[in-house]
């Protein structure tokens, strides 16, 4: 039994933490969020130079060969800085799909470019009607002599506005909600028939709805097994959920520590409001919510690293906790900051908005509660 | 004990509904919900003028000052019919806050000068209570008013002032004495927003909108005739106002409307072929809120009935404020969860049709700004202190 970080993980953590402290303060982040692209290419290149973009990839492609714990370490720190650069979309989604399901040629082509920062990726899995059900796919891939023709629309594609390449889920068989019959395709953002409508989300991201109008892809652009890619999607999304939860954990820690600090200095009725027992107890409650979340993050890391059978259960439980603890912590952080908590000027609200977005990404608490119930009680 | 509507009440409900349906047309609705500051303020005034012409702009005011003389039941019916249709409530600062203070505590000259333009919405009011250093501890306020001949000279700053940028007048609590208890040195002033020395600093809020402001006062001269009641008695008048404000803040009818919208949206949202409204986990969350709201509706009726029979809202208004704002936030949170990924779509980025969803941005805006409800009007923590002291005797 050991919950310590390795020396390597501590170095990795310190390296990201130092970057956030020195180069990613809240004002810098605000400027990046207000820019057209919604992220900073120079910062992304820094990520590449520091080796963070290589964490989950095998050494043969120039990767770090990292574990779920290594990803957790990075994501937790990125969360603390509310980092906007597309680590989730490019590395944890696009990159991991290529690594786990891609052909040798695809890995050789894309992984080194992800690692050196020159390729930005996105995973286009959602559709207007699909809500949280990733198997609900209407986009079609019609087989022809040159490969496949894609038609349909993908929505709320993270990093969709800036991605050079997409992995797109499309149906080569089966009915609308069948897991069977779903295939994955690599699509260049500048391919003929690809149209993007970009818009901003509350957490400062620029996302896109991606329209696919008779987009021709080749046989070599198929990722994973045709018609049987759903297992790959589930696996990648499970790991991405762990990364998101670690990001949420970093945010929760920031909200709690900033709130405690504020109540130490804010005076009302002649004393610091942190001296009121009623408020102390509430901050103790949010502290406990944070610790409980941390324990489930660690539990999921262990389950995934050991490839335990109940890894899926652990991740569903974690996502339920992130929803519950996240709402609890940011609601209290805003409330205890009073009027200041509802300003755009203070970072508190921005942490809250990112937590809300994490909540809804790959299913909110209710969705994962239902999945958990089905695994545990059915 | 009985809450059945009389035939007269039912006829009144018909009349109110018919008026709302014709007067609040789609074109006006669109302008009122347009976040563009060049559009919605004029639309608010236009809507309030329609209510004024109908004689219904201030249902709760005494008839002699332009009110309707309706009993608690009729006021409840009016409010319910308004909220059910998603009709925006009137701007509260003149009609629900300073108006009642003026007709209760003001001089005849003040009533003649100010009440008509509150009723016909020719003048827009804002509220100057909180200060950067005085939030929950409102009585610690420091904005100072010093007598100089027949004028006060005001220096200081007010904060969280909603729509100060549109306001013609601000009603302010100012310090006129630093002797004795801090509540005993406060006066209530009406200040012309065009006075020299007033500066407005905009504050962008968490929903990325600008409705809030900081208002600075640098040697602003205010005629003594614009003071309400006696010098150093302002706290008494302010407390009476706050009780009215808190009763209005509960917003039960609007929460019911929100719940109805949630049911409609949740019938459309489908996950793996199952409508969200049919999901037992979702039903449990919905029912938790609905049951609390059923209770709160009757709590509000009990308070209204006691006010109608001559009582003044006291600590009960704190109860309504706490539960009402908690329910608003619960409704807003559930709406966010119904909107799923689209809760995060920034209002106005793309048309609803392009985004593919029509209530996500609305859910976002309501939810985010809704966080303020447990803070403003006296934070819920302060309301609990009031109940502990006034009701429990602790």
| Residue A208 and residue A335 in one domain | no
Mean pLDDT of B284-289: 97
Closest residue to B344, CB basis, from A177, A356, A367? A356
* Separation between Cα atoms, residue B213 and residue B132, nearest integer Å: 11
> Residues B267, B304: one domain?
yes
Does any domain span residue B277?
A: yes
Residues B148 and B80 in one domain: no
Nearest to B272 among A136, A339, A342 (CB): A136
pLDDT at A342: 96
What are the backbone angles phi and psi of residue A234, rounded to the nearest 5°? -60, -40
Is A126 part of the contact surface with chain B (CB cutoff 8 Å)? yes
Backbone angles phi, psi at A201, to 5 degrees: -110, 165
| Burial of A42 (C-beta count, 10 Å sphere; 0-12/13-18/19+) | exposed
Q: How far apart are CA A254 and CA A205, in angstroms?
A: 20
Q: Is the ipTM of this complex over 0.90?
A: yes
What's the pLDDT at B315?
81
Instruction: Assess whether pLDDT exceeds 80 at residue A248.
Output: yes
Among the listed residues B56, B66, B71, the one whose alpha carbon sits nearest the alpha carbon of residue B20: B56
Record the tokens describing residue B382, joined without a space: 């302060």
Integer Cα distance of A111 and A89 in angstroms: 14
Same domain flag for A272 and A215:
no
Whole-number pLDDT of residue B5: 85
Pick the residue with more confidence: B74 or B16? B16
User: What is the phi/psi pair of residue A224, to 5°?
Assistant: 75, -165
Decide if A53 is inside a domain. yes
- pLDDT for position B357: 77
CATH code for the domain in which residue A184 is found: 2.40.110.10
Closest residue, chain B, to A202 (C-alpha): B344
B44 and B141, same domain (yes or no) = no
Task: Tell me whether residue B243 is in a domain.
Answer: no
State the Cα torsion B315-B317-B322-B326 to the nearest 10°: 160
Q: Measured between CB atoms, which of A200, A338, A343 is closest to B203?
A: A343
Q: Two tokens at B264?
A: 């409609």
Average pLDDT, chain B: 92
Which residues on A lie below 8 Å from B356 (Cβ)? Answer: 128, 153, 155, 209
Chain A nearest CA to B380, separation (Å): 9
Tell me the residues of chain A between 336 and 355 that have a Cβ less than 8 Å away from chain B. 338-339, 341-345, 349, 352-353
- Rounded Cα distance between A175 and A181, Å, is 8
Indicate if the pLDDT at residue A190 is higher than 90: yes
Q: Which tokens go with B64? A: 């002699």
The answer to whether the CB atoms of A344 and B204 lie below 8 A apart is yes
- How large is the average pLDDT for residues A64-77? 96
Q: Choose the final residue of a domain: B90, B110, B144.
A: B90
Q: Are residues B267 and B371 in the same domain?
A: yes
Q: Report the residue of chain B nearest A351, measured CA to CA.
A: B206
* Helix, strand, coil percentages for chain B (3-state, nearest 5): 55, 15, 30
Is residue A125 predicted with pLDDT exceeding 90?
yes
- Number of residues that this document lists for chain B: 394
Res. B310: pLDDT tops 70: no
For B270, the enclosing helix (H) or strand (E) is strand B270-271
From B232, B260, B278, give the residue that closes a domain: B232
pLDDT at A98 over 90: yes
pLDDT for B34 equals: 83
Q: How many domains are there within chain B? A: 3
DSSP A97-126: HHHHH--HHHHHHHHHHHHTT---EEEE--
Looking at the structure, do residues A278 and A367 belong to the same domain, yes or no? yes
pLDDT band, residue B313 (cuts 50/70/90): low
Is there a single domain that holds both residue A236 and residue A363? yes
A315 vs B: CB within 8 A: no
* pLDDT over 80 (residue B305): no
Tokens of A128: 């207007």
Look at residue A341 and tell me whether its pLDDT is greater than 70: yes
pLDDT band at A113, cuts 50/70/90?
very high
Contact B371 A342 (CB under 8 A): yes
What average pLDDT does this structure show over A95-119?
Answer: 98
- Are A139 and A130 spatial neighbours (Cβ–Cβ below 8 Å)? no
Summarize pLDDT for B142-168 with one digit per residue, the tens. Answer: 999 999 999 999 999 999 999 999 999
What percentage of residues in chain A have a pLDDT greater than 90? 97
User: Which residue among A126, A339, A364 places its CB closest to the CB of B130?
Assistant: A339
A131 sits in the region (left: phi over 0; alpha: psi -120 to 50; else beta) called left
Residue B205: its chain A contacts at CB < 8 A?
Answer: 342-344
Q: Look at residue A92 in the predicted model and tell me its pLDDT.
A: 98
Tell me the C-alpha to C-alpha distance, in Å, between residue A21 and each of A15, A17, A112, A252. 10, 6, 28, 17
| Structure confidence at residue B355 (pLDDT) | 77
Quote the percentage of chain A above a pLDDT of 70.
100
Both B255 and B383 in one domain: the answer is: yes
Predicted pLDDT at B311: 66
Q: Hey, of B369, B377, B380, B381, which one would you mutate to test binding to chain A, going by the most A CBs within 10 A of its CB?
A: B381
Can you give the pLDDT at residue A363? 96
Name the nearest CA neighbour of A184 among A216, A232, A119, A235. A232
Mean pLDDT throughout B51-72? 93
Contact: A199, B375; criterion CB under 8 Å: no
- List Cβ<8 Å contacts ≥24 apart for A193-198: A193/A150, A196/A160, A196/A161, A197/B350, A197/B354, A198/A160, A198/A161
Residues B207 and B255 in one domain: no
Question: Which of B233, B160, B156 minimizes the C-alpha distance to B191?
Answer: B156
Question: Does A374 touch chain B if contact means CB atoms closer than 8 Å?
Answer: no
Pair A162, A206: CB distance under 8 Å: yes
Check if the beta carbon of residue A287 is closer than 8 Å to that of residue A252. no
Nearest-Cα distance to chain B for A136, in Å, is 7
CB pairs < 8 Å spanning A and B: 136
Contact A177 B357 (CB under 8 A): no
Which CATH number belongs to the domain containing residue A330 in this structure?
1.20.140.10
Average pLDDT, chain A: 96
Is the model's pLDDT at B25 over the cut of 70? yes
Predicted confidence band of residue B343 (pLDDT cuts 50, 70, 90): confident
Q: What is the DSSP letter of A173?
A: S
Count of C-beta atoms within a 10 Å radius of residue A100? 15
Distance from CA of A199 to the nearest CA of B (A): 6
pLDDT mean over A47-53: 97
% of chain B exceeding 70 in pLDDT: 98
State pLDDT tens for residues A360-378. Answer: 999 999 999 999 999 999 8
User: Domain range for residue B305?
Assistant: 250-390
The domain total for chain A is 3
Looking at A92, A119, A146, the residue that finishes a domain is A119
Q: Who among B135, B208, B371 is closest to A268 (CB)?
A: B135
How much is the average pLDDT of A173-181?
Answer: 95
Q: Do B130 and A342 touch (CB under 8 A)?
A: no
Interface of A with B in 32-61 (CB under 8 A): none
What average pLDDT does the segment B215-242 reach? 94
Instruction: Return d(Cα A84, Cα B207) in angstroms, integer.
Output: 19
Q: Are the beta carbons of A339 and B368 separated by less than 8 Å?
A: no
Give the mean model confidence (pLDDT) for residues A236-247. Answer: 97
Note the pTM of the prediction, 2 decimals.
0.95
Residues A13 and A128 in one domain: no
Shared-domain flag, residues B384 and B270: yes
**A315 and A242 within one domain:** yes
- DSSP conformation letters of B290-342: HHHHHHHHHHHHHHHHHHHTT----HHHHHHHHHHHHHHHHHHHHHHHHHGGG
Assigned domain for B300 exists:
yes
Calculate how close chain B gets to A124, using CA atoms only, in Å.
13
Written as six digits, the tokens of B217 are 């006062």
CA–CA separation, A376 and A317 (whole Å): 11
> Do the domain assignments include residue B308?
yes
A65 falls in which pLDDT band (50, 70, 90)? very high
Residues 6+ apart with CB under 8 A from A29: A81, A82, A83, A84, A204, A350
Residue A325: CA atoms inside 13 Å, Cβ hemisphere, count?
Answer: 30
The verdict on B267 and B209 lying in the same domain is: no
In the listed set A228, A260, A283, which residue is the last one of a domain according to the structure? A228
One domain for residues A238 and A367: yes
Q: Do B356 and B274 belong to one domain?
A: yes
Residues 136-165 on A with a CB inside 8 Å of B are 136, 153, 155-156
Residue A2 located in a structural domain: no
In a domain, A267, yes or no: yes
Tell me: do A134 and A110 sit in the same domain: no
Domain assignment present for residue A1? The answer is: no
Cβ contact, residue pair A209, B355, below 8 Å: yes
Report yes or no: A325 and A295 within 8 Å, Cβ to Cβ. no
Does one domain contain both B214 and B271? no
A177/A294 same-domain check: no
Predicted confidence band at A253 (pLDDT cuts at 50, 70, 90)?
very high
Same domain, A236 and A322: yes
Contacts (Cβ under 8 Å, ≥6 apart) of A88: A75, A158, A159, A240, A243, A244, A247
* Last residue of one domain, picked from the residues A197, A228, A259: A228
Nearest CB to A338 within list B208, B344, B375:
B375
Q: Phi and psi at residue A235, in whole multiples of 5°? A: -65, -45
Q: Searching chain B, which residue's CA lies closest to the CA of residue A199?
A: B349
Q: Are residues B163 and B199 in the same domain?
A: yes
pLDDT in tens, A274-283: 999 999 999 9
Q: Is the pLDDT of residue A7 over 90?
A: yes
Cα→Cα distances A285→A46, A332, A336, B302, B327, Å: 38, 10, 13, 34, 21
Is B278 inside a domain boundary? yes
Q: Which two tokens stand for residue B101?
A: 């203070």
Indicate whether B72 belongs to any domain: yes
- Give dist(CA B338, CA B5) in Å, integer: 35
The CA distances from residue B22 to B18, B59, B235, B248, in Å, are: 6, 19, 42, 25
pLDDT given for residue B2 in this prediction: 78
Asked whether residue B116 is assigned to any structural domain, the reply reads no
CA distance B342 to B344: 5
Integer Rg of chain B from CA: 22
Tokens of B270: 């489908």
Q: Check whether B346 has a pLDDT greater than 90.
A: no
Do B66 and B75 form a contact (C-beta atoms < 8 A)? no
User: What are B181-228's pLDDT values in tens digits?
Assistant: 999 999 999 999 999 999 999 999 999 899 999 999 999 999 999 999
Q: What is the CA A252 to chain-centroid distance, rounded?
A: 16
Residues of B in contact with A199 (CB under 8 A): 345-346, 349-350, 355
Whether residue A372 sits in one domain with residue A243: yes
Confidence tier at B312 by pLDDT (50, 70, 90): low
pLDDT reported for residue B143: 98
> Do B171 and B57 share a structural domain?
no
Q: Answer yes or no: is pLDDT of B249 > 80.
A: no
| CA proximity to B3, closest of B59, B64, B73, B63 | B73
Residue range(s) defining the domain that contains residue A50: 7-119
Query: Residue B143's domain is classified under what CATH number?
Result: 2.40.110.10
- Whether A162 and A114 map to the same domain: the answer is no
In a domain, B117, yes or no: no
- Residue A249 near residue A79 (C-beta atoms within 8 A): yes
Q: Report the catalytic residues of B.
A: 245
Report the gap between the CA of A130 and the closest CA in chain B (Å): 7
């Amino acid at each position: 039994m050991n919950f310590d970080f390795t020396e390597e993980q501590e170095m990795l953590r310190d390296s990201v933490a130092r970057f956030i402290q020195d180069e990613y303060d809240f004002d810098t982040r605000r400027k990046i969020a207000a820019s057209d692209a919604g992220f900073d290419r120079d910062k992304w290149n820094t990520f590449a130079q520091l080796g963070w973009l290589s964490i989950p990839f095998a050494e043969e492609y120039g990767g770090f060969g990292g574990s779920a714990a290594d990803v957790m370490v990075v994501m937790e720190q990125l969360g603390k800085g509310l980092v906007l650069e597309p680590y989730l979309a490019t590395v944890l989604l696009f990159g991991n799909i290529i690594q786990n399901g891609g052909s040798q040629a695809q890995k050789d082509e894309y992984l080194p470019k992800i690692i050196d920062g020159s390729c930005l990726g996105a995973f286009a899995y959602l559709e207007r009607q699909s809500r949280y059900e990733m198997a609900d796919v209407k986009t079609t891939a019609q087989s022809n002599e040159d490969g496949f023709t894609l038609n349909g629309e993908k929505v709320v594609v993270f990093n969709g506005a800036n991605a050079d390449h997409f992995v797109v889920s499309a149906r080569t068989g089966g009915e609308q909600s069948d897991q069977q019959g779903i295939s994955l395709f690599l699509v260049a953002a500048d391919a003929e028939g690809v149209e993007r409508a970009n818009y901003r989300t509350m957490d400062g991201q620029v996302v896109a709805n991606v329209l696919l109008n008779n987009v021709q892809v080749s046989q070599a652009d198929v990722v994973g097994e045709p018609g049987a890619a759903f297992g790959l999607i589930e696996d990648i999304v499970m790991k991405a959920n762990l990364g998101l939860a670690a990001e949420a954990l970093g945010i929760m820690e920031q909200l709690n520590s900033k709130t405690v600090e504020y109540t130490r200095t804010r005076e009302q009725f002649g004393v610091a409001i942190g001296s009121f027992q009623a408020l102390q107890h509430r901050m103790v409650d949010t502290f406990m919510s944070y610790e409980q979340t941390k324990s489930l993050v660690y539990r999921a890391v262990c389950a995934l690293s050991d490839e335990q059978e109940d890894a899926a259960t652990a991740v569903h439980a974690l996502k339920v906790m992130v929803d519950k603890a996240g709402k609890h912590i940011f609601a209290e952080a805003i409330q205890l900051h009073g009027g200041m908590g509802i300003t755009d000027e203070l970072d508190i609200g921005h942490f809250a908005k990112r937590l809300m977005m994490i909540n809804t990404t790959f299913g909110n608490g209710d969705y994962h509660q239902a999945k958990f119930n089905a695994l545990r009680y059915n | 004990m009985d809450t059945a509507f009389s035939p007269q009440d039912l006829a009144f409900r018909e009349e109110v509904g018919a008026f709302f349906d014709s007067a609040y047309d789609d074109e006006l609705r669109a302008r009122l919900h347009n976040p563009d500051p060049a559009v919605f303020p004029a639309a608010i005034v236009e809507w309030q003028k329609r209510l004024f012409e109908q004689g219904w702009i201030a249902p709760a005011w005494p008839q002699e000052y332009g009110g309707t003389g309706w009993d608690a039941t009729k006021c409840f019916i009016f409010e319910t019919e308004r909220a059910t249709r998603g009709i925006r409530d009137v701007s509260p600062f003149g009609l629900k806050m300073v108006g009642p203070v003026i007709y209760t505590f003001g001089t005849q000259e003040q009533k003649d000068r100010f009440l008509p333009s509150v009723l016909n919405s020719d003048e827009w009011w804002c509220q100057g209570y909180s200060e950067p250093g005085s939030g929950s501890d409102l009585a610690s306020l420091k904005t100072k008013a010093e007598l100089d001949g027949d004028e006060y000279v005001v220096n200081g700053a007010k904060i969280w002032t909603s729509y100060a940028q549109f306001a013609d007048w601000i009603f302010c609590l100012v310090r006129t004495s630093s002797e004795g208890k801090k509540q005993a040195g406060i006066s209530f002033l009406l200040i012309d927003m065009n006075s020299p020395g007033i500066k407005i600093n905009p504050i962008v809020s968490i929903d990325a909108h600008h409705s809030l402001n900081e208002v600075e006062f640098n040697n602003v001269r205010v005629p003594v005739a614009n003071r309400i009641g006696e010098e150093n008695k302002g706290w008494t008048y302010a407390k009476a106002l706050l009780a009215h404000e808190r009763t209005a803040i509960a917003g039960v009818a609007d929460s019911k409307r929100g719940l109805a919208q949630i049911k409609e949206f949740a019938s459309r949202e489908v996950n793996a072929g199952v409508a969200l409204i049919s999901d037992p986990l979702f039903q449990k969350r919905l029912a938790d809120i609905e049951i609390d709201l059923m209770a709160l509706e009757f709590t509000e009726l009990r308070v209204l009935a006691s006010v109608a029979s001559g009582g003044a809202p006291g600590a009960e208004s704190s109860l309504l404020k706490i539960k009402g704002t908690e329910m608003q936030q619960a409704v807003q949170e559930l709406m966010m969860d119904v909107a799923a990924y689209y809760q995060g779509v920034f209002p106005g980025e793309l048309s609803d049709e392009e985004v593919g969803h029509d209530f996500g941005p609305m859910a976002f805006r309501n939810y985010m700004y809704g966080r303020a409800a447990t803070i403003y009007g006296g934070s819920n923590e302060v309301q609990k202190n009031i109940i502990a002291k006034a009701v429990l005797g602790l």
